[in-house]
Amino acid sequence: MTNFTAVFDACVLYPAPLRDLLMSVAITEQFRARWTNEIHDEWARNLLKNREDITEEQLQRTVEMMNQAVPDCLVENYDGYIDSLELPDPDDRHVLAAAIKCSADVIVTNNLKDFPKDELDKYDVDVQSPDIFLSHLFDLSPPAFCYAVQEMRKRLQNPPYTEEEFLELLYKQGLPLIVSKLKEVIDLI
């Protein structure tokens, strides 16, 4: 397993297809995926608020499965860093604090503006959108990435997705770069 470590912000775990893709790639061990219980609480709370068809029990099961699927994923004891951090949105400081605590290389988020480069540089942490992050992983090992995507697509059986439908699903998640790369190897997904 590599030591390259990524902390996932709640916003990338909120939409199920993006969460599933990130988890599918995480279990290939191309990088170390990390998050906190506070990050879990944030995405799950927002999902419950916006989706009446999902229960708290279902989300708790998802959280437990995520924590079991990725060894050493939970970052703990990061609270001591929070008060000293300055971010545009003080509610995001816990994410950076977790990244500092686990010596993460990158925070994966859709809210790039909430993690200014000058503040992250102090802690040698980068910030990337999920599309950029996943594109880099693809470039590092196309076979491993395609295998993860293929396994994810196999799990989606209700309804099943053709390769093209699956790529459209990923595109709707805001992943145009990775979709363009996967189109070039569509027979592998």
> Tell me, what CATH number does 125's domain have?
3.40.50
| Structural contact between residues 86 and 119, judged by C-beta atoms closer than 8 angstroms | yes
Whether residue 98 is found in the same domain as residue 155: no
DSSP state of 174: T
* CA 58, chain centre distance (Å): 19
**pTM, to two decimals:** 0.94
Whether residue 124 is found in the same domain as residue 173: no
What does the pLDDT read at residue 157? 86
What is the rounded average pLDDT of the residues 149-173? 92
Nearest C-alpha neighbor of 2 from the set 132, 189, 136: 136
What is the rounded average pLDDT of the residues 35-51? 95
Q: How far apart are CA 114 and CA 163, in angstroms?
A: 34
Which token pair is 71?
């060894």
Whether residue 117 is found in the same domain as residue 182: no
Whether residue 34 is found in the same domain as residue 85: yes
Whether residue 171 is found in the same domain as residue 117: no
Whether residue 110 is found in the same domain as residue 155: no
* CA 73, chain centre distance (Å): 12
Domain final position from 129, 149, 168 = 129
Which token pair is 32?
């170390």
Whether residue 123 is found in the same domain as residue 182: no
What is the rounded average pLDDT of the residues 90-116? 97
What's the domain range around 149?
135-188
Whether residue 104 is found in the same domain as residue 152: no
Between 5 and 71, whose confidence is greater? 5
How many other CB atoms sit within 10 Å of the CB of residue 126? 17
Q: How far apart are CA 161 and CA 181, in angstroms?
A: 18
Whether residue 40 is found in the same domain as residue 15: yes
Whether residue 156 is found in the same domain as residue 88: no
CA geometry: angle 91, 96, 102, nearest 5 deg: 140
Number of domains in the chain: 2
What does the pLDDT read at residue 3? 83
Q: Percentage of the chain with pLDDT > 90?
A: 90
What is the rounded average pLDDT of the residues 118-145? 96
Whether residue 25 is found in the same domain as residue 93: yes
What is the rounded average pLDDT of the residues 29-41? 95
Helix axes 16-26, 130-140, angle to 10 degrees: 30
Whether residue 89 is found in the same domain as residue 161: no
What does the pLDDT read at residue 1? 53
